[in-house]
Amino acid sequence: MNTSDNSNKTLKQWLGFNTWHTNHDLDMNRFYEFVNAYIIDNGLLINDESVLAETIANQVDIKTTDPRFETIKEKVTLMYSIIDFLKVTGRK
């Protein structure tokens, strides 16, 4: 995962709230801001979902055995779906 200051900032903003793992509108908005920054840095490509999930987990000190890691994997899967949608519809 290539990261810029902006994508690191948006990742930390999303993960900086103790509700980051919920589907609350504000948390999802912060997640979408991170997805946007990720796309700016990496294009419409996720090379390896598991590596991305582990990279995100490391930002908040979550081990792969932590139940919250499943939430991170779900969010990465959502990112993948968003990126696929953008590719198919030619929006980015």
Phi-psi region of 62 (alpha: psi -120 to 50; beta: other; left: phi over 0): beta
pTM: 0.90
Q: Which domain holds residue 45?
A: 5-89
Q: What are the C-alpha distances in Å from 48 to residues 25, 31, 66, 85?
A: 27, 19, 20, 18
The length of the chain is 92
Task: Compute CA 18 distance to the chain's CA centroid, rounded to the nearest angstrom.
Answer: 16
pLDDT per residue over 3-33, tens digit each? 678 888 999 999 999 999 999 999 999 999 9
Number of domains in the chain: 1
Counts for the chain of helices (H) and strands (E), in that order: 4, 0
pLDDT per residue over 33-52, tens digit each? 999 999 999 899 998 999 99
